Amino acid sequence: MFEKKNSKKDVEFEKIKAYAEESTKAQKPVNKKKEIISNIIYVVIVLAITIFIICFVGQRTKVDGDSMYPTLHDGDNLIVDKISYRFHDPDRFDVIIFPYPQNEKVFYIKRVIGLPGETIQIDYDGNIYIDGEILEEEYGYEVMVNPGIAADPITLGEDEYFVLGDNRNESNDSRAVDVGVIDEDDIIGRAWVRFYPFKDVGLVKNIE
């Protein structure tokens, strides 16, 4: 029996293979370290952006009650856009946040219906009139049965807004004496994003 000798080509191939294996072993720890560092940087950036948004652009708020059903639900967590109204006035159908006039530690979430200078009236059939014309809108969950103080025409001042909850028969809003019309200076911002519960994450429906 004769032992088969490796050719020069085989020897060179084995050397290259061994070198490649050693290089791979040496690179694995380095690549893993880079991956960990990359993940840490990503998390830090996300946290920094989140903190910036909450502190300077928006704020977190939680829905308490069903006055905005079905648009918003009790327990929904929202990010409020606090910066947009520095550049433009609230639009009709925006969902806004403002302090309850009788307790500034309590915040209300309602939809803008009437704009500054307009005359608002609601009849006992639930129709909303803006300057004598019926407002075409589909936000109301059911037919409104109580027009409240808006049974008589209400003319808004140059910085005043008339607001309603979408669940109007379960909402304390501008129809009530204790709430009334909302001054623009009291508006904190616009409901922007629902981030919890996770199954309902998305933008809050504002203007059409």
Least confident window among 34-43, 81-90, 110-119: 34-43
Which one has a higher pLDDT value, 144 or 43?
A: 144
Count up the domains in the chain and report the number: 2
Residue 51, φ and ψ in degrees, nearest 5: -65, -40
**Cβ(78)–Cβ(193) under 8 Å?**
yes
pLDDT of residue 15: 59
Contact 165, 68 (CB under 8 A): yes
Q: Is 131 in contact with 118 (CB distance < 8 Å)?
A: yes
Quick check: 24 pLDDT over 90?
A: no
Contact predicate 87/81, CB 8 Å: no
Tokens of 112: 């803008």
184 and 165 both lie in a single domain: yes
What percentage of the chain has pLDDT greater than the value 70? 80
Q: How confident is the model at residue 206 (pLDDT cuts 50, 70, 90)?
A: confident
Q: Are residues 85 and 153 in the same domain?
A: yes
Instruction: Summarize the confidence of residues 78-82 as an average pLDDT.
Output: 90
Give the domain-ending residue among 17, 40, 59: 59
Structural domain contains residue 105: yes
Same domain, 22 and 6: yes
Active site residues: 67, 110
Range of the domain at 178: 63-203
**Same domain assignment for residues 126 and 26:** no
Same domain? For 9 and 72 the reply is no
Which pLDDT value is given to residue 56? 62
Condensed to tens digits (0 to 9), the pLDDT of residues 140-191 reads 999 999 999 999 999 999 999 999 999 999 999 999 999 999 999 999 999 9
| Nearest-angstrom CA–CA distance, 47 and 61 | 18
Instruction: Report pTM.
Output: 0.72
**pLDDT averaged over every residue in the chain:** 85
208 belongs to a structural domain: no
d(CA 78, CA 156): 29
Q: Are residues 54 and 106 in the same domain?
A: no
